[in-house]
Amino acid sequence: MRAAFFGSPDFAVPCLRALARFAEVPVVLCQPDRPAGRGMRLRKPAVKVAAEELGLEVWQPTKVRKGDLAERLRALDLDVGVVVAYGRILPRAVLDAPRRGCVNVHASLLPRWRGASPIHHAIVHGDPKTGVTLMQMDEGMDTGPILAMEETPIAEDETAGTLSDRLSTLGAELLERTLPAWVDGRLEPRPQPEGATHAGLLTKEHGRVDWSKPARAVHDHIRGMSPWPGAFTTKDGERLKLHRAHVLEEAGQAGAPGEVLASDDPESLRVACGEGVVGIDELQEAGRKRLPAATFLAGRGVSPGTRLGDTGETA
């Protein structure tokens, strides 16, 4: 089997390594190197680093809709293209370049959470389970027929980061188990059912906590935004990152949304929500280190009645 691989971030690396175990991979395509970090030095995509370790040729086209990319791929006599978080929508000419077209490993149980950030949305919306889907690609956004799926439960305290790690491994296993059958014509695709939901691109502003929501939703939001874009609120007009939390009370209204409540527990910061109470376990002020709540409270002190996400004034 000859397969081209399209992918860029860490999530795609296990699939690339799996593909290289059972297929000939004449080329790996990924996004161009980008400036990153405080020094804004060029950084290679994770897939490029892995491909170089495997001794595979790497292409980093700046354009996929124009130019000779499709023609170059056709010249490789490919059986299939495998796409995992590549970061660009591929045109029909590129999708059709391999003999069996292109397949995609998507981090959700399609048609739920089509789009760029399915892992974050599954957690933020309190989904009890998610999974990975191997899909035959068309020109739509994750709309192609399903080839295979594998599901997994979402743990109550799982973050987008830990779930991403699990799904990347699960996707690699699914790819290795089912792609040969698709290439050989032994796997029949089935159309996606109705009821699609969409997971759009996230920005840093999506991390802002809405304290008017129930405690469970606030907790899910904080873990769904971890590690990126990061959940945050404000205190005294300054941004305050929230890294870990847990639900203390599901029901009742203990105070105004965002109000810091009195507590005998030095291990967490109690905050009222629209319904119920959350305990913030780990947080970080702008320009400072990430701290356990106990350390933060001992060093800074936050008076009961302080409003988070507001002016920071006490009631």
Please state, in angstroms and rounded to a whole number, the distance separating the CA atoms of residues 314 and 303: 8
Nearest 5°: phi and psi at 92?
A: -55, -40
pLDDT value of residue 314: 44
Q: What is the CATH number of the domain that holds 295?
A: 3.10.25.10
Residue ranges making up the domain that contains 156: 3-199
Please state, in angstroms and rounded to a whole number, the distance separating the CA atoms of residues 245 and 265: 14
Average pLDDT over residues 210-230: 98
Residues 6+ apart with CB under 8 A from 3: 19, 23, 24, 25, 78, 79, 80, 81, 82, 98, 179
Average pLDDT over residues 129-138: 98
In this structure, the answer to whether residues 178 and 265 fall within a common structural domain is no
- Per the structure, the count of domains in the chain is 2
CB 134 within 8 A of CB 82: no
In this structure, the answer to whether residues 128 and 259 fall within a common structural domain is no
Does residue 305 lie within any of the structural domains?
no
Residue with tokens 């870990």: 244
In this structure, the answer to whether residues 7 and 131 fall within a common structural domain is yes
Please state, in angstroms and rounded to a whole number, the distance separating the CA atoms of residues 208 and 309: 9
Task: Please give the share of the chain, as a percent, with pLDDT higher than 70.
Answer: 98
Greater confidence, 237 or 97?
97
In this structure, the answer to whether residues 211 and 237 fall within a common structural domain is yes
Please state, in angstroms and rounded to a whole number, the distance separating the CA atoms of residues 62 and 83: 17
Q: Which of 106, 99, 174 is nearest to 141 (CA)?
A: 106
Concatenated DSSP letters of 67-104: SSHHHHHHTTT-SEEEEES-SSPPPHHHHTSSTT-EEE
Tokens at 30, concatenated:
């990924």
pLDDT value of residue 230: 97
Q: What average pLDDT does the chain have?
A: 95
Work out the burial of residue 65: count CB atoms within 10 Å of its CB; fewer than 13 is exposed, 13-18 middle, 19 or more buried. middle
In this structure, the answer to whether residues 53 and 152 fall within a common structural domain is yes
Residues 6+ apart with CB under 8 A from 47: 5, 7, 8, 9, 12, 13, 16, 28, 30
pTM for the model stands at: 0.95
pLDDT value of residue 310: 67
In this structure, the answer to whether residues 223 and 84 fall within a common structural domain is no
State yes or no: pLDDT of 77 exceeds 80: yes
In this structure, the answer to whether residues 35 and 179 fall within a common structural domain is yes
In this structure, the answer to whether residues 139 and 244 fall within a common structural domain is no
Which of 199, 214, 234 represents a domain boundary (last residue)? 199
